[in-house]
A and B are shown apart, each in its own frame.
Chain A
Amino acid sequence: MPQEENIKQELIKKFSCLENRVNITRPRRLFLEVDPADFEKVFVFAKNDLNFSHLISITGLDEQDKLSFMYHLALDSGIVLNIKISVSKENPVIRTVTGYFPGAEIYERELADLFGARIDGLPPGNRYPLTDDWPKDQFPLRKDWKPIV
């Protein structure tokens, strides 16, 4: 898997903090985890220098005491780079990526509604996907959330 390996080496060369944190799980799939403070640098490098020009989506994950967010970026040649960041559940603030991918707006609103993420820099707009009268402190995709019968 030469191209995947090249991408991995480029990332590690540019960001020493990614040493041992980039995994190639199969052809065309890379997973990496980065500290929130370094996220934007890595994300912009992937988009501008490595040509990951397509944001497929953003996945939210409830991982016990923290919330994680995984950005799925694709190359036109089919390689997908999954960049994961984790923040505390008490203060789940992440920076918007709509400045780089305007289409990310709806994915970020979904994280806000279903996981309670606070998206710094996201302009006000309609919520998605929950209803306008949904309680503001109920986040259905968190593990401790159970439907009220």
Chain B
Amino acid sequence: MHDSHKFKIPMGPQHPALKEPESFSIALKGEKILGVEIRLGYNHRGIEKACEERSYIQDIYLIERVCGICSHSHSTCFIQAVEEIACLQIPERAKYIRTLIGELERIHSHLLWLGVAGHEIGFDTLLMYTWRDREVVMDLLAELTGNRVNYAINTIGGVRRDVSEQQALDVLKAVDILEERTKYYIGIATTETSIIKRLLGVGVLSHEDALRLDAVGPTARASGVTRDVRRDDPYAAYGSLSFDVITDNHNDVYGRTLVRVKELLESFKIIRQVIKDMPAGPLSVKAPRKIPAGEALSRYEAPRGEDMHYIKSNGTEKPERVKVRAPTLANVQAVKHMLKDRYLADMPIVIAAIDPCFSCTDRLISVDYLDTNRKQIIKWQDLHAYSIAWHRRHGIDFTKLNKETRGAGF
């Protein structure tokens, strides 16, 4: 890719794990991004329409499949709105169990992200470590709910499974292990010059732009926006728990990394309180099959940011309208802004930094040479390799760090 050429690179569009898949058409001059066009919706599955044709109970399981990672986020967000319309007061113990699963989900999601981020910048040892550590939380989720993802713990009026005393001890044991590992990652992120050099100043989103574009979650909090639904609009047990909203003022991918790793520590803090304070009592209250006519709006702080569900009921066993706004849809607008005037080599990490589950599919990228009409096909892997090599030429090389950290801390 020579500097004198202008290119247009269509990137995407399929990544089936999300409700909002994306495709980027990137105009380049040499290595610089002139502008980005975003096309969404390639994998729209019509879940909102499907929900109108199914019962509330069936919808819980459908909604849980909006996202493979934030499954508990979506089912809790949906169910809270339904319970509000039906005027159901769910038992305190159920609120704590929902919070526990929600925070374990956040840990698994943030560790997964940290690994993906490591991979995108060529620090694959970090990927191996974090994904191995993530297994600790996946095993725990499987022990508590029977599933690694799509936990099916929620039902209208409460939860479907209890947490035994032994399971509570297992949770605390796992949290101790994960906390030690997280501290090690925070140490790496704040002291390793290669990481700092590679992420600092990349994918900048100023505080004003984060507010203007309505960014959510760690993406917004890394631009100094102190918004967190858990604190601002408390649900489940969050109103009775003490935790900090982590923000950062780096406004870039480095800031987004720090926010996520530090949020892991807050999740451990929350989980310890949940286990300690979880009241005894029933798991659910009886819910009517038909939900009275009404409407409710529910919010939930998913790992990627604010999730919103609006439900309108009509007195039958099926909802009149189910609206879902998942966090990536709110953040995808900001990506366009972050990429402008940046280098193509930063594209993988900038896109990965909003955590859109972008790396779960294989993609082809075709390059149109705008000035010669020549076409070339490159794969995502090639773009990844290009990114690593480009930064190596510019003095950021993870080869040594990969070797040095291998086996560290064991």
Selecting from B166-174, B194-202, B329-337, the interface stretch reads B329-337
Contact of A31 among B46, B295, B306 (CB under 8 A): B295
Q: How far is the CB of B172 from chain A (nearest CB, A)?
A: 30
What CA separation (Å) do A60 and B321 show in the bound complex? 9
Contact string against A for B residues 306-343, beta-carbon threshold 8 Å, 1 for contact and 0 otherwise: 10101010000000010101000110110000000000
Nearest to A72 among chain B residues (CB) is: B297
Please tell me the size bucket of the interface on A: 35 or more
Distance in angstroms from B130 CB to nearest chain A CB is 31
Q: Considering only CB atoms, which chain A residue lies closest to B311 in the complex?
A: A59
In the complex the two chains form, is A57's CB within 8 Å of B333's CB?
A: no
Contact B41 A57 (CB under 8 A): no
B20 contact set on A, CB distance < 8 A: 129
Q: Which of A52-107 contact B (CB under 8 A)?
A: 53-57, 59-62, 70, 72, 74, 76-78, 80, 82, 101-107
A1-52 at interface with B (beta carbon < 8 Å): 25-26, 28-29, 31
Q: Is the interface of A mostly helix, strand, loop or mixed?
A: mixed
Whether a CB of chain A sits under 8 angstroms from the CB of B278 is no
Q: Is the CB of B308 within 8 A of A129?
A: no
The answer, among A54, A130, A141, for a CB contact under 8 Å with B48, is A141
Partner of B38 from the list A54, A56, A126 (CB cut-off 8 Å) is A126
Q: Is the CB of B214 within 8 A of A101?
A: yes
Q: Which residues of the partner chain B approach A104 to less than 8 Å between Cβ atoms?
A: 214
- CA separation between A78 and B41, bound complex, in Å? 29
Chain B's nearest CB lies how many Å from the CB of A136?
16
Q: Is the CB of B306 within 8 A of A56?
A: yes
Are the CB atoms of B211 and A76 closer together than 8 Å? Answer: no
Contacts A53-B211, A128-B41, A131-B41 given; indicate if A76 touches B232 (C-beta within 8 A).
yes
Total inter-chain residue pairs, C-beta < 8 Å: 88
Chain B hits for A26, CB < 8 A: 84
B335 to chain A, nearest CB (A): 12
Question: B299 to chain A: which residues have CB within 8 Å?
Answer: 56, 74, 80
Contact of A54 with B214 in the complex, beta carbons under 8 Å: yes
Shortest CB-to-CB span from A44 to chain B, Å, is 16
Name the B residues within 8 Å of A74 (CB-CB): 233, 299
What's the nearest-Cβ distance from chain B to residue A72, in Å? 6
With an 8 A cutoff between CB atoms, is B34 at the interface?
A: no
Rounded to whole Å, the gap between the CB of B214 and the closest CB of chain A is 4
Chain A: CB-nearest residue to B325: A57
Residue A121 at the B interface, CB < 8 A? no
Once bound together, how far apart are the Cα atoms of A107 and B330, in whole Å? 9
- The answer on a CB contact under 8 Å between B323 and A59 is yes
Across the interface, do B40 and A128 meet the contact criterion of CB distance under 8 Å?
yes
A26 to B89, CA, bound (A): 13
CB-CB under 8 A from A141, the residues of chain B are: 48-49
Check: B39 CB closer than 8 A to any chain A CB.
yes
**Closest Cβ–Cβ distance, residue B193 to chain A (whole Å):** 35
For B330, list chain A residues within 8 Å (CB): 56-57, 103
> Bound state CA distance, A78 and B312, in angstroms?
21
| B227 CB within 8 Å of chain A | yes
Contact A129 B214 (CB under 8 A): no
Distance between Cα atoms of A56 and B233 in the complex (Å): 13
Residues of chain A contacted by B40 (CB below 8 angstroms)? 106, 126, 128-129
Known contacts A25-B296, A56-B306; is A78 also within 8 Å of B329 by CB?
Answer: no
> In whole angstroms, what is the CA distance A94 to B40 when docked?
22
B44 on the A face (CB < 8 A): yes
B286 CB, min distance to chain A CBs, angstroms: 21
Cα of A29 to Cα of B297 in the assembled complex, Å: 8
Confirm or deny: B3 has a beta carbon within 8 angstroms of a beta carbon on chain A.
no
- What 1/0 flags go to B194-228 for Cβ under 8 Å of A? 00000000000000000111110000000000110
Partner of A103, one of B213, B229, B306: B213
| Docked complex Cα distance between A29 and B299 (Å) | 11
A70 vs B234: C-alpha distance when bound (angstroms): 22
Whether the pair A70, B46 counts as a contact (CB closer than 8 A) is no
Contact of A129 among B41, B84, B213, B333 (CB under 8 A): B41
Nearest chain-A residue to B310 (Cβ)? A59
A129 to B229, CA, bound (A): 26
Could you tell me if B232 and A77 are in contact, using CB atoms closer than 8 angstroms?
yes
A55 to B214, Cβ gap below 8 A? yes
- Ranked nearest first, the 4 interchain pairs of A and B with the lowest CB-CB distance are A129-B41, A78-B233, A78-B232, A103-B214
**5 A–B pairs (Cβ distance < 8 Å), ordered by A:** A53-B211, A54-B211, A72-B297, A76-B226, A101-B214
* A56-B214, A141-B49 given; 10 more Cβ-contact pairs under 8 Å: A25-B295, A60-B323, A61-B312, A74-B299, A80-B233, A82-B297, A102-B212, A106-B329, A106-B333, A129-B20
